[in-house]
A and B are shown apart, each in its own frame.
Chain A
Amino acid sequence: GQSLEQPSEVTAVEGAIVQINCTYQTSGFYGLSWYQQHDGGAPTFLSYNGLDGLEETGRFSSFLSRSDSYGYLLLQELQMKDSASYFCAALSGGSYIPTFGRGTSLIVHP
């Protein structure tokens, strides 16, 4: 089966940098996506890694290492509005079938 592991909770202070890790075990792995979800809201897409290395999008960056079955999401210059749940999702097979992790709750303190 497919499985992804993420920390359940991460806390940080405003202005800091935080890294959310994700390890995966999936067959037919194609790439890793990251989504943000605020309480009561819908997930929104943040980033995608299809190749090894770092992808940067503003304050958010995501990294993938296929050989280690590992990725992370890096959030810089944290703001209070970044308090949310963050999910990694592995895409598998030619049809990009998604499997989501259980999510990491990020709490940003002033």
Chain B
Amino acid sequence: EAGVAQSPRYKIIEKRQSVAFWCNPISGHATLYWYQQILGQGPKLLIQFQNNGVVDDSQLPKDRFSAERLKGVDSTLKIQPAKLEDSAVYLCASSLAGAHEQFFGPGTRLTVL
């Protein structure tokens, strides 16, 4: 069974530029999560989707971050404009509906210069 796919794996941008990350969850997984993980810290939930609906986005900086999961399958996370403090690994995870076990993708390492 294929795991969670993410692209790109690495991205370097200048501050004030825009960037987008893509995630394809495990087939059949209704719940999709986006996390930000800063070096030396735990993953911080940015947004949680159930199918194409938002379950929680209380920690998403909505002035610059946006996410969508239009068809309830793959998802895109966008940052516009990026700030230096956005440098982090962005992790996507998925799970079956109502399940507590999350499966993580390899992440996208973002560097903002």
- Which A residues are within 8 Å of any B CB, using their own CB? 31, 33, 35, 41-45, 48, 50, 87, 89, 91, 95-103
Contact = CB atoms under 8 A, between A and B. Distances in A.
Interface in B54-113: 55-56, 91, 93, 98-107
A91 B102 CA distance: 11
A97 B103 contact: no
Given A43-B91, A100-B43, A101-B42, 12 more contacts: A31-B100, A33-B100, A33-B101, A42-B104, A43-B102, A45-B102, A95-B56, A97-B48, A98-B48, A100-B42, A103-B40, A103-B41
Contacts of A35: 102
Interface string B4-37: 0000000000000000000000000000010100
Contacts of B56: 95, 97
Interface residues of B, number: 24
Given A42-B91, A43-B43, A103-B41, A98 B50 contact: no
Interface of B: 33, 35, 40-45, 48, 50, 55-56, 91, 93, 98-107
